[in-house]
Amino acid sequence: MQSQLERREELFGLAKQMRSKLPEFEKNIMANDALVYGDGALPESVKRMMAMVGALVSRCEGCILSQTIRAIDSGATADEIIEACHVAMMIGGTMALAESTRVLALLKEKGMIE
């Protein structure tokens, strides 16, 4: 069975390959990413968790995994991420709960929880 980290790398690689087919799009999306998710009135970690909640509710596997990793990389703790998952569950119900298991598995793989 593929780990969540391996699956994220697979999806990320495919998305990067797709974006590279239109270099101007790649350039613009990366600039927008930095603009939107960079520290501002809200810190990057909070913005990444907000995006993770949206991804959980939308059930986008690649987005869930990428935003969770980016939240961790920007300083979000396991407790903060799990709390954000509960927000997603309130919005998205049992489908968001099911998708949140990806986040839990990822946190386990990274040794952030038991």
Check residue 83 and give its pLDDT. 98
- Neighbouring C-alpha atoms within 13 Å toward the C-beta of 74: 20
The whole domain housing 66 covers: 43-109
CATH number at residue 51: 1.20.1290.10
Number of domain units in the chain: 1
Inside any domain, residue 100: yes
Instruction: Write out residues in the chain with pLDDT < 70, as ranges.
Output: none
Inside any domain, residue 3: no
Check residue 1 and give its pLDDT. 81
Check residue 66 and give its pLDDT. 96
Asked if 8 and 62 touch (Cβ cutoff 8 Å), the reply is yes
Query: For residue 98, what are the contacts with CB-CB under 8 A and spacing of at least 6?
Result: none
pTM: 0.92
Inside any domain, residue 21: no
Could you tell me what percent of the chain has a pLDDT over 70? 100
Query: For residue 105, what are the contacts with CB-CB under 8 A and spacing of at least 6?
Result: 3, 4
Alpha helices for 38-77 (secondary structure H): 44-58, 61-73
Check residue 87 and give its pLDDT. 98
